[in-house]
Chain A
Amino acid sequence: MEIVSLNQISPDQVIIWSWNFIVLNATILYTWLVMAILVVGSWFITRNLSSATNVSRWQHFLEVIISIIRGEISEMTKKGADKYIPLVGTLFLFICVSNVLVVVPGFVAPTSSMTTTAALATCVFIAVPFYGISRNGLFHYVREYFQPNFIFFPFHVMGELSRTLALTVRLFGNIMSHEKVVGILLAVTPFLFPVVMQILGLLIGVIQAYIFAILSMVYIASALSAEDEVHHTETKKEGVSA
């Protein structure tokens, strides 16, 4: 079943229903599907959780994933990892499930739409100052943009924007191009080659999910650690002058 034809670059172009500016396209539909899988699966597995040592396999599976995410975050933030798990974990799980489900015939990854990746990157773009301000206060966060002096303010803003753009384009480019490459190869090469490419696509999909989540955390952590460094330096100066 060909949902997104080769000449269509994004599932956004597959309009299912629209009214005025309200549009229901393939991107939103498949996003809902992925959300439903994640939410229903989570609810199903976690409805009978056990804190004893004897737990179900699915609970083990989820605990392993959450533990890995928690461990990765802890390596960067050192403390308070649980605060960032909802954002980083949801980014990873959503992107990963979207990318992996590509092997299901008829499924189009929402992450192959730049609208989706831009939305996710925007969330990260908002989350970085949100966590920075909530932890160290608005003044310290804004002052960071003027370090080492005010001339660097535009560069800081450009850096924020460019890395958000990089996040958007990296994920979109990888997933979209992979789908297109597999589609073209199906038309011109024997059957076995696209299968290998699909397997490679699974690997790329998981790696991209990991990269997106880790980079998001790096951005958040850099904002936190920068604030920490400033705070630490000031404390030190006060100590010396006293």
Chain B
Amino acid sequence: MHIDWFVFLAQIFNFLLLMYLLKRFLYGRILKAMDDREAKIVARFAEAEELKVKANEAAELYEKRNQMLNDKKEVMLNEATMAADAKRKELMDKVREEVDAVKARWQDMLVREHDAFFYDLRQRAAKQLYATARKALADLADVELEERIVDEFIRRVKALDEEKSIQIRKAISGGGNKIVIQSAFGISEPRQAQIEEALKKQITNGFTIRYMQQPDIVSGIELRVNGHKVAWSLNEYLETLVESLTETLQKEAHAA
């Protein structure tokens, strides 16, 4: 086998040249690119790892803050609940007080209405009784009721005991010798003379009488002098009637 030494050396040179060229154009560049990429990937992994650590730290911080917020929320909620309970209690007390006040006012009003009703009833009953009695007296005895009332008044004046008479006499002299006789109706002059005579005979002389017509005195007549009084009216009877009537009505209301 023949070996041409020129070709042999040329092939060695060719190989070394190829080695140099490939080192320059292939291996160097490729290896550099691969190493650079590897370094980049490593750096990226390191960065990712660092970011992961940071993310974990941030997550822990967030978790901690979240926990704190939750705790705070719990405390605030408890405080708010307690405040709301206290406020509710306060409002309930206030409402209860108001209700009690309204109830008291209502009961007061009810009592007033009750009183007004019975007052009115008494007035009406008195008037009705007065009218009925007058009509009955007029029908039965053919005597004016006023006449009977005046008669009764005169009888009462005459029937005054000594002690009462002295008291009235003192009162007349202390009050400027003036007597006021009030009546629900007008009194005729003969009847006024009878009254005056009875008074003079029973009590004293030297006084002046002033007659006043007062509708409030239900079907009655009364003498008033400086804190003392001689009177007759249907009020006495009517008050008895009203008491009886009130008692009856209350019993009915309780039964209902």
Chain A residues with CB under 8 Å of chain B are 9-10, 12, 21-23, 25, 27-28, 31-32, 35, 38-39, 42-43, 46, 49-53, 55, 59, 62-63, 66-67, 70, 82, 85-87, 89-90, 93-94, 110, 113-116, 118-120, 122-123
Contacts and interface: CB of A to CB of B under 8 A. Distances in A.
Interface residues of B, number: 34
A44 B163 CA distance: 158
Nearest to A32: B14
Contact of B14 (A23, A31, A51, A62): A31
Given A28-B14, A35-B14, A115-B3, A46 B26 contact: yes
10 smallest beta-carbon distances between A and B, as pairs: A51-B36, A119-B11, A42-B26, A46-B29, A42-B25, A86-B23, A49-B33, A90-B19, A119-B12, A43-B25
B17 interface: yes
30 contacts: A23-B7, A25-B7, A27-B7, A28-B7, A31-B11, A35-B14, A38-B18, A38-B26, A39-B18, A42-B22, A42-B26, A46-B29, A49-B30, A49-B33, A51-B32, A53-B37, A63-B34, A66-B30, A70-B31, A85-B31, A86-B19, A90-B22, A93-B22, A94-B18, A113-B7, A115-B3, A118-B8, A119-B9, A120-B15, A123-B12
B11 A27 contact: yes
Contact of A115 (B7, B17, B30, B34): B7
A118 B4 CA distance: 11
Given A23-B6, A39-B21, A62-B26, A50 B15 contact: no
Contacts of A27: 7, 11
B153 to A, nearest CB: 135
Given A43-B25, A49-B29, A63-B34, A115 B4 contact: yes
Contact of A35 (B18, B26, B30, B34): B18
B22 A12 contact: no
B1 interface: yes
A105 B16 CA distance: 28
Contacts of B34: 63, 66-67
